[in-house]
Amino acid sequence: MPKRIRKPRLDTVQNALRVVRESVQPFEAPVPQPLVSRVMAEMGRKGGRIGGKRRLVTLTDKRRKEIASVAAKARWAKKRKKG
């Protein structure tokens, strides 16, 4: 298990100074997302919803079996390496 890296804890005065600095800074409004980015994101979501269902319909039984066997071999190979 990897060791956790702790951030140095601020004392009371340092924490108060941090809070004051954050409250004094001018507020920055979030930058609006360009139209192209919004359209592309929506297209990606739409394709992601369709993807698995369409793949299930278009795959043959033989190809689906091949994919499943490769996945099973990969899972078992991981278990052998650990133990």
Ordered by start, the domain boundaries in the chain are 34-83
Torsion, Cα 51 55 57 58, to 10 degrees, reads 130
* Residue the block writes with tokens 């394709």: 47
| pLDDT at residue 81 tops 70 | no
List, for residues 12-58, the tens digit of each pLDDT value: 898 898 888 888 887 777 778 888 888 888 888 887 778 888 888 88
As a whole number of angstroms, the distance between CA 69 and CA 81 comes to 19
pTM: 0.38
As a whole number of angstroms, the distance between CA 22 and CA 25 comes to 6
Phi, psi of 70 (to 5 degrees): -65, -40
